[in-house]
Structure 1
């Protein structure tokens, strides 16, 4: 048995990171180097981008913050911040050679927040796409229905409840090995007969159906924008940028992950006595797409820029106020001038804080 384990480690095989028992790890230790790099990139970008975006929505004009589109984008930012807050624990896990030291309950919560963020992002992006579709294709019909804050609040609550209902069964599956030192992103080999159909069902309801809805909405939006010259130039530009960003998120972050996640689970479920080259390639691809799926938390803040009319002007005002406050003096001043400068500095800092 000792010789077999030595050969297994030399050839990169071992207990599967996404499960336990009969599975095989066909990747070796590449995951421990790749995923932490991705997570360490997402953490600062996600915290800064989503933090500034939510601050902008909360401190901006009340009328702007109560707009349906702003509420939907704000919920998207909240989902991103929840997920990004768990990434330092995963970085520690992979840096220590897949040794989980934070307990089984936190392992389940950490892994579940990834799927919460994933399907909340898809859900709110779908709502944003439908909102933009109604505003451009059916502006008169949507004017009374889509402009109230109450409708967007109820829609946001519905999306959260639907996402929680989809990922709640995932909490019932074990995420750790027998001694609790590993934290798996799926579940053990013995539960795959149930977990595989569940994952396929969530893929259909949480990804495929919303993706088809988004494609239908944006195809119609682009068709109307190309044929209607009376559409405001700023609205046209922001709508096209929104179409591009959402499609990039789905094609790069969401589509590959769902394909290789289901393929990886299928090859684990299928009886096999060793790690085949096909299984290895699929597992490597699955780990890469997990990293790509995490990047959506760093890309979503671009929605604040695209959907907000006054984002650039507010950021420019904040930048100018900050530069004035931090500008160093180049000549000596009298005591009265120094006192006046101190008062101006306090006012500048207060203005910059209020602008945020």
Structure 2
């Protein structure tokens, strides 16, 4: 058994059809990517939080959703340093089993809540333009707060299995902390995590594509310049959300599905399987980009946020750091 900070650790030793794939100790470029993401994402989200909490005088429902997107990013910024340390140690997790569960739970909740609130913001823009008289377009602040609260409850409930499962695995003399591993038989709790990982991408992604297409069609039908301007703002906001969504979350989903397909369709092709899992672990780092990219969503989704940023002379600062 591996020793973690001098204390014996119970490690999940579930075996697989192929040896585990991992980076050479400390030589991977993933720590560099994640460090850059923190350096870029942290100031942008701190400025956004400051604007929402201390400079926003008039609140609307979509502002509540954007604020919750900032809160979701904070979960990532707290959790990623532990993943950076682990990658720099060659996948060796030294923080114990309990924190392994909590760390992976926080990362998963960040991903799920970010997806949820991005989708809600995009749909809010869609209904405001396409269905202005729908009850969703007339949502009150109270309704928005309830929706945000229920979203957090659903996201946390969906990820609870990560807290009830031992996710610390033994690979030779290395203790690895991963929510995605190389099981022969996937435990039910982990299977829930796998299904959620895929479903929470594709369902919102199709909604975003549909919203973008409908707003674009609606724009072509408009004759009044003022209405065209309003619709263009909406389609720009939805397009930015769709772009961030696709770049951050699609690579890991696609490579994850490819890895699972190779595992079950070609169980003896260990080299190909290991390469696919290494690619998957690399693509997971794109997930963390949502924290660095979300300030663009705040900027293009809220004219109030944009105006406050400009009046505060922070626009060049935040977007220079994002580039």
Which residue does the alignment assign to 1:346?
A: none
Distance 1:149 1:305, change over 3 A: same
Which residue does the alignment assign to 2:320?
A: none
Q: Does 1:157 align with 2:152?
A: no
Tell me the alpha carbon deviations over residues 174-196 of structure 1, each in whole angstroms, 9 at most, x when there is no partner.
21125883212324625525367
TM-score by length of 2: 0.82
What is the distance in 1 between the residues matched to 2:294 and 2:44?
8
Q: Does 1:249 align with 2:244?
A: yes
Which residue does the alignment assign to 1:223?
A: 217
Distance 1:196 1:268, change over 3 A: farther
Distance 1:49 1:308, change over 3 A: same
Q: Which runs of 5+ in 1 are unaligned?
A: 1-17, 321-356
Runs of 4+ in 1 over 6 A off after TM superposition: none
What is the distance in 1 between the residues matched to 2:155 and 2:257?
19
Q: Does 1:40 align with 2:35?
A: yes
Displacement of 1:127: 0.9
Question: SS of 1:62's equivalent?
Answer: coil
Which residue does the alignment assign to 1:111?
A: 104
Q: Which runs of 5+ in 2 are unaligned?
A: 1-11, 315-323
Select 1:60's aligned residue among 52, 55, 78: 55
Q: Is the 8 A contact 2:113 2:152 kept in 1?
A: yes
Distance 1:103 1:280, change over 3 A: closer
Q: Is the 8 A contact 1:196 1:266 kept in 2?
A: no
Q: Is the 8 A contact 2:161 2:190 kept in 1?
A: no
The structure carrying a bigger helix percent of its residues is: 1
Tell me the alpha carbon deviations over residues 188-230 of structure 1, each in whole angstroms, 9 at most, x when there is no partner.
6255253674345314542222222222222111211222133
Displacement of 1:78: 0.5
Select 1:295's aligned residue among 282, 289, 292: 289
Distance 1:204 1:49, change over 3 A: same
Distance 1:274 1:139, change over 3 A: closer
Displacement of 1:56: 0.5
Tell me the alpha carbon deviations over residues 251-308 of structure 1, each in whole angstroms, 9 at most, x when there is no partner.
22112211222332454567845623x2133113212210111111110111121122
Which residue does the alignment assign to 1:145?
A: 138
Between the two structures, name the one with larger relative contact order (CA 8 Å, sep ≥ 6): 2
Q: Is the 8 A contact 1:174 1:187 kept in 2?
A: no
Which residue does the alignment assign to 1:10?
A: none
Q: Does 1:85 align with 2:98?
A: no
> How many residues are paired up?
299
Select 1:131's aligned residue among 124, 133, 141: 124
Displacement of 1:88: 1.1
Question: SS of 1:177's equivalent?
Answer: strand
Displacement of 1:166: 1.5
Displacement of 1:137: 0.5
